[in-house]
Structure 1
């Protein structure tokens, strides 16, 4: 397993990390065993959110690591408030709500601090300074060690770069979503803010699932990317290896979050960091297989 420091923080995170969202709560013992096995084999960064399964996901993570809490890096998220009738959630980045929500996350995770607390979205209409003030207060109180945002919106990311002490941004990034390459990745690198990626296998399309339309790409365009990846597959390099190694090639990227719910997915995630890095020629070959999309909104 390889590790990188996340931005300006003191968090040294595994370059592939465990996305906990898809863990089934119906079989908690199996899910907890999978989390523990990941840690034993070198994954130290676990990503969850209070939104996932109405907090049950955080409970699984808390149970898995209550005996070795200080050896793992737990990242969770805040900002989506469940309605009292359970029908859905509303966006709430206000101070009062965050201060209440963090207590719930700490309790469910069976810990007295969070390594990384992330705003789970964000818009320019938010009370951004109030949100930042709240995260800074939680740092002073020792309830969080660092904070970041989970966002794909360049205009929101720029505001947090200017106005806050975020150490990370979580964003979607893959060969089928290269929008961050236009400006955001380099900007974050310049400001020593780490990137944690999600969606790097594009719903499994870059790991063997049949092609279909994705974002602004047609099924035929997606097929061209898949074929380009397949051209680089060897006995020691799977499609998933190629897809994730592409994402990890940018120096701003510290870790890629992979959704893991089975033993097979875990074993693949454990192997990826040890796969051979892509050469510049291969990177160029992949990039030339399809034109990159650009952000149309929130620029």
Structure 2
């Protein structure tokens, strides 16, 4: 059974990353409803986004179908009193307080997946885990996970906690998780929530630009190869980009930021045709761009 689902509600391979939604509440609600009606059942938000308004909109919109969706939110970033930015706070007391606030904004009495929104190796990790375990015992959350790309932090939570998921950036243009993390998480039955699968649109036809350690020329070559694979396989470019990350068994879902109805339509089409990319096409894509590894936090 998928660690991010139940016997009667499995997580959809395409999920809705709510961070990208703006201030237009009416459009926001329309997109969320349309996504849910199309079979997207995993919605990811955070108390950080829009200082809580994001959670509020998600909760209000999805309340009528609460039992049909999986709600995920995040905690750990504390807004400063003057509103100019935020600081990292993974303390037990802060997590417990924020959980109550998120529950109210999400209009629910339980959060399906509560995630630590970052993390460092110097955090009071055992204290942080205690907070999540207590919330789980109280029935306020069903599962917990972390959102991180730091190998050393992820390994600690794999060893010391009962996380069911790790949200991390992963795409053809960011293959760093393939070095060790994906296999490690799969071995422990921990699902990956993939973000950044389209590399900020660079894999879908957006003008080439520098990305991570890649030059614009390298990005252009990867995008051109992806487009060729799409043509050869009869798939959309989005389906190829998603099929690449879906091919690893650790990946439970790919979270997409959808700001427009057209973007959502593309995501729905990809959901209906959801399948991993073939080994041959995946190898072709890999050959189009060099690989590199995490430099820090190893």
TM-score under structure 2 length normalisation: 0.96
**CA apart distance, 1:8:** 8.5
The reply to whether residue 244 of structure 1 matches residue 253 of structure 2 is no
Does the residue aligned with 1:160 lie in a helix, a strand or coil? helix
Provide Cα deviations, 1:2-37, integer angstroms capped at 9, x if missing partner: xx8236876620000001111122x21221111011
**CA apart distance, 1:207:** 1.1
Q: Give 5+ residue unaligned stretches, structure 2.
A: none
Query: Which residue does 1:269 correspond to in 2?
Result: 267
The 5 Å alignment of 1:1-299 reads 5-6=2-3, 12-25=10-23, 27-234=24-231, 236-273=234-271, 274-275=273-274, 277-299=276-298
> In the alignment, is the contact (CA less than 8 A) between 2:245 and 2:276 conserved in 1?
no
RMSD: 1.4
Q: Tell me which protein shows more helix as a share of its residues.
A: 2
Provide Cα deviations, 1:150-177, integer angstroms capped at 9, x if missing partner: 0000100000000000000000000000
Q: Give 5+ residue unaligned stretches, structure 1.
A: none
> In the alignment, is the contact (CA less than 8 A) between 1:245 and 1:272 conserved in 2?
no
> In the alignment, is the contact (CA less than 8 A) between 1:237 and 1:276 conserved in 2?
no
> In the alignment, is the contact (CA less than 8 A) between 1:35 and 1:64 conserved in 2?
yes
Does the residue aligned with 1:59 lie in a helix, a strand or coil? helix
Provide Cα deviations, 1:251-291, integer angstroms capped at 9, x if missing partner: 00000000011111111111113155422111110011111
- Partners of 2:5 and 2:52 lie apart in 1 by 29
